[in-house]
């Protein structure tokens, strides 16, 4: 169980940070802090890019930090925020965050070892050494993750870089039982809805330089085999959004991958 008591505003802030490619980690250990505060680690010193991204977040979204001249300082207070929600303007009173500026080396090590947790369909990254939430990964999925080739990991890293929605649905470890499917291929199920086809095409272009047309990423697309990867936008008539909610997040050499829950294999 997580110690932090997350609310909708916490998740909203995490999603905005993710959209801007701002890396942060959740610290789930509490001593002198109430558990309704979300504690986040950010690296220091900040790179020029990180500095600009945080400034953009501060100006474009919410001034969630009290000191506008140094907006990534510590916060320990309640704050009333105004935000757009489904087209309506509303105000939300929410307990927000405490920021811990963490030495760059310590942060990067923690990032490489982070634990991924899916909560209310949101991907959360926890500091592994300060998280009581065990990674809920079944042995078979872990074995498949352990068998990932460099090519597979490169493909998934590109998908993560462009914030795509996908599921790895390999049933056996690489080099395993061929009766259950071609274990030499990375099997990917892609979300065909919303902006995901566009983002996925960007990711494949980034990875291979040969993404093909946008139709290959939309609903009804044929199965595409490219290199050591097999891509589908439909899987046995299943609803992607429903299955995606039960995904597992597994850390492979610092890259988080979204893997289909074994219970969803038909």
**Would you place residue 147 in the very low, low, confident or very high pLDDT band (cuts 50, 70, 90)?**
confident
pLDDT of residue 134: 63
Mean pLDDT of 59-83: 47
**Would you place residue 257 in the very low, low, confident or very high pLDDT band (cuts 50, 70, 90)?**
very high
Mean pLDDT of 130-136: 74
State how far the alpha carbon of 190 is from the alpha carbons of 57, 183, 213, 220, 222, in Å. 29, 19, 15, 11, 12
Residue with more model confidence, 74 or 129: 129
pLDDT of residue 80: 38
- The whole-angstrom separation of Cα 180 and Cα 187 is 12
Q: Using the predicted structure, report yes or no on whether residue 158 has a pLDDT greater than 90.
A: yes
**Would you place residue 71 in the very low, low, confident or very high pLDDT band (cuts 50, 70, 90)?**
very low
What percent of the chain is predicted at pLDDT more than 90? 45
| pLDDT tens digits for range 223-245 | 999 999 999 999 988 999 999 99
Q: Mark out the alpha helices in 48-126 (DSSP H runs).
A: 48-60, 104-112
Tokens of 30: 């509490």
Q: Using the predicted structure, report yes or no on whether residue 181 has a pLDDT greater than 60.
A: no
pTM: 0.81
Residue with more model confidence, 73 or 243: 243
pLDDT of residue 66: 44
Q: Using the predicted structure, report yes or no on whether residue 24 has a pLDDT greater than 50.
A: yes
pLDDT of residue 171: 78
State how far the alpha carbon of 127 is from the alpha carbons of 15, 17, 89, 119, in Å. 18, 17, 34, 16
State how far the alpha carbon of 83 is from the alpha carbons of 41, 60, 98, in Å. 24, 11, 20
Q: Using the predicted structure, report yes or no on whether residue 44 has a pLDDT greater than 80.
A: yes
């Amino acid at each position: 169980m997580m110690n932090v008591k997350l609310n909708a505003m916490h998740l909203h802030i995490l999603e905005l940070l993710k959209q801007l490619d701002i890396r942060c980690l959740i610290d789930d250990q509490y001593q002198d802090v109430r558990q309704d505060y979300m504690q986040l680690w950010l690296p220091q010193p900040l790179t020029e890019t990180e500095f600009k991204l945080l400034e953009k977040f501060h100006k474009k979204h919410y001034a969630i930090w009290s000191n506008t001249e140094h907006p990534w300082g510590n916060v320990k207070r309640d704050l009333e925020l105004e935000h757009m929600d489904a087209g309506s303007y509303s105000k939300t009173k929410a307990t927000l965050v405490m920021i811990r500026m963490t030495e760059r080396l310590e942060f990067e090590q923690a990032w490489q070892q982070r634990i991924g947790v899916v909560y209310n369909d949101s991907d959360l990254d926890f500091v592994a050494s300060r998280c009581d939430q065990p990674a809920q990964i079944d042995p078979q999925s872990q074995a498949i993750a352990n068998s990932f080739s460099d090519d597979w990991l490169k493909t998934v890293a590109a998908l993560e870089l462009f914030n795509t929605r996908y599921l790895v649905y390999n049933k056996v470890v690489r080099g395993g039982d061929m009766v259950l499917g071609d274990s030499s291929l990375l099997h990917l199920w892609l979300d065909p809805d919303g902006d995901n086809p566009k983002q996925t095409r960007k990711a494949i272009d980034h990875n291979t330089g040969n993404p093909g047309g946008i139709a290959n990423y939309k609903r009804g697309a044929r199965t595409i085999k490219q290199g050591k990867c097999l891509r589908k936008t439909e899987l046995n008539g299943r609803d992607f959004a429903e299955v995606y909610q039960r995904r597992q997040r597994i850390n492979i050499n610092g890259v988080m991958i979204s893997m289909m829950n074994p219970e969803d294999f038909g």
